[in-house]
């Protein structure tokens, strides 16, 4: 369990996520008539690239190709796609049946590629502290129709110090009060350090684009497996082994009840290379959020 101190300190900043429940209604599956729970949900995302005037493809001004590949690997993970890093054959895991696409229509109805590039040097941002509202001042689309993702122009010294963060859904599931605030108080979305967005060759355990998979999990209602660091109340998912401390690196260890922690779970802080699993309870929880508080993201009319 090795996590650099700097990273460890700031990883705690990242995730304001907390207790919340996986206890949803049981899913009934039939082959002939897929239940609503079996439906594939498709979510539009917009990636706001916040840069400092660099050329496209340089530094924080990430290339279209890198962005497209990040969305592709996000889908590989959520769809547990065979032949990709996102596949696993664990019987307590599944295809989450949630997928993402770069928006093709902007909020005004105009065609878009789902990528918005903003030179932060040309915008007079009234806020100074980096956070959801700060980034939303550069650009923000209706959170009811799109998932807003901002890539933040951290300097190289920010690698492994800040990975990302997400606002939590306003849900009726237990633990909602422990999520970071979203609308109506703060802008909703996901912030990712540009260096950790998509696959790259940076020297980091977080260079395969799994930061977005993890933060999207939070955005859709998942907690860290250790939740509030309590063996009895952690992530409220019965199929993730209980653990009361954060999980990083790639080496498993015994959690509560002398069970091995699920090192491969996307909701840990484990290295990108070791992750490939959402459990069935986690999937139920995300789909519950997408049929309740974040339902408008998957409405057909959207």
- Reference 272, options 262, 281, 285, 263; nearest CA is 263
Which among 11-19, 122-130, 138-146, 181-189 is the span making contact with Zn ion, rule CB under 5 A? 11-19
What is the smallest separation between the CB atom of 111 and Zn ion, expressed in angstroms? 34
- Reference 97, options 37, 148, 144; nearest CA is 37
Which of the residues 15 through 34 are near Zn ion (CB under 5 A)?
A: 15
What is the smallest separation between the CB atom of 224 and Zn ion, expressed in angstroms? 5
215 is known as an active-site residue: yes
Interatomic CA distance for residues 43 and 296, integer angstroms: 10
By beta-carbon proximity to Zn ion, the closer residue of 51 and 214 is 214
Which residues have CB under 8 Å from 61's CB, separation 6+? 49, 51, 54, 55, 117
Interatomic CA distance for residues 184 and 42, integer angstroms: 24
Which among 9-17, 110-118, 138-146, 183-191 is the span making contact with Zn ion, rule CB under 5 A? 9-17
CA distances (Å), 127 to each of 43, 123, 187, 214, 231, in order? 29, 11, 13, 27, 39
By beta-carbon proximity to Zn ion, the closer residue of 15 and 173 is 15
Q: Which residue is nearest to Zn ion (CB)?
A: 15
What is the smallest separation between the CB atom of 238 and Zn ion, expressed in angstroms? 20
What is the smallest separation between the CB atom of 15 and Zn ion, expressed in angstroms? 3
CB atoms within 10 A of CB 67: 21
By beta-carbon proximity to Zn ion, the closer residue of 10 and 105 is 10
Pair of tokens at residue 280:
């069935």
Which residues have CB under 8 Å from 155's CB, separation 6+? none
**Taking a C-beta distance cutoff of 8 angstroms, is the pair 276, 264 a contact?**
yes
By beta-carbon proximity to Zn ion, the closer residue of 215 and 284 is 215
By beta-carbon proximity to Zn ion, the closer residue of 51 and 224 is 224
Instruction: With CB under 5 A as the rule, give the number of residues binding Zn ion.
Output: 1
What is the smallest separation between the CB atom of 19 and Zn ion, expressed in angstroms? 13
Which among 13-21, 107-115, 138-146, 284-292 is the span making contact with Zn ion, rule CB under 5 A? 13-21
Pair of tokens at residue 83:
């032949």
Q: Which of 42, 108, 177, 215 is catalytic?
A: 215
Which of the residues 180 through 239 are near Zn ion (CB under 5 A)?
A: none
Which among 12-20, 39-47, 56-64, 228-236 is the span making contact with Zn ion, rule CB under 5 A? 12-20
**Taking a C-beta distance cutoff of 8 angstroms, is the pair 49, 135 a contact?**
no
Residues that bind Zn ion (CB under 5 A): 15
Q: Which residues are catalytic?
A: 215
């Amino acid at each position: 369990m090795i996590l650099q101190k700097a990273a460890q300190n700031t990883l705690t900043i990242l995730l304001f996520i907390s207790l919340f429940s996986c206890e949803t209604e049981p899913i009934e599956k039939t082959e002939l008539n897929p239940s609503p729970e079996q439906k594939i949900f498709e979510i539009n995302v917009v990636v706001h690239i916040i840069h400092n005037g660099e050329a496209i493809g340089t530094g924080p001004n990430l290339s279209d190709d890198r962005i497209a590949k990040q969305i592709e690997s996000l889908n590989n993970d959520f769809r547990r796609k065979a032949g990709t890093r996102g596949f696993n054959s664990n019987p307590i895991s599944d295809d989450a049946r949630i997928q993402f696409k770069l928006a093709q229509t902007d909020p005004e109805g105009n065609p878009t590629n789902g990528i918005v590039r903003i030179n932060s040097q040309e915008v007079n941002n009234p806020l100074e502290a980096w956070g959801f509202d700060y980034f939303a001042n550069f650009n923000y689309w209706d959170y009811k129709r799109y998932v807003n993702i901002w890539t933040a122009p951290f300097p190289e010294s920010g690698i492994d110090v800040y990975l990302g963060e997400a606002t939590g859904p306003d849900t009726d599931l237990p633990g909602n009060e422990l999520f970071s605030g979203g609308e109506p108080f703060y802008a909703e979305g996901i912030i990712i350090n540009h260096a950790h967005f998509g696959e790259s060759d940076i020297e980091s355990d977080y260079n395969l684009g799994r930061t977005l998979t993890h933060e999207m999990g939070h955005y859709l209602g998942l907690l860290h497996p250790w939740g509030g660091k309590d063996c009895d109340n952690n992530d409220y998912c019965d199929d993730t082994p209980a653990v009361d401390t954060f999980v990083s690196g790639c080496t498993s260890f015994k959690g509560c009840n002398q069970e091995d922690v699920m090192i491969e779970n996307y909701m840990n802080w484990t290295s990108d290379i070791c992750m490939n699993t959402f459990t069935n309870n986690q999937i139920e929880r995300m789909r519950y959020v997408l049929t309740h508080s974040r339902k408008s993201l998957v409405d057909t009319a959207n």
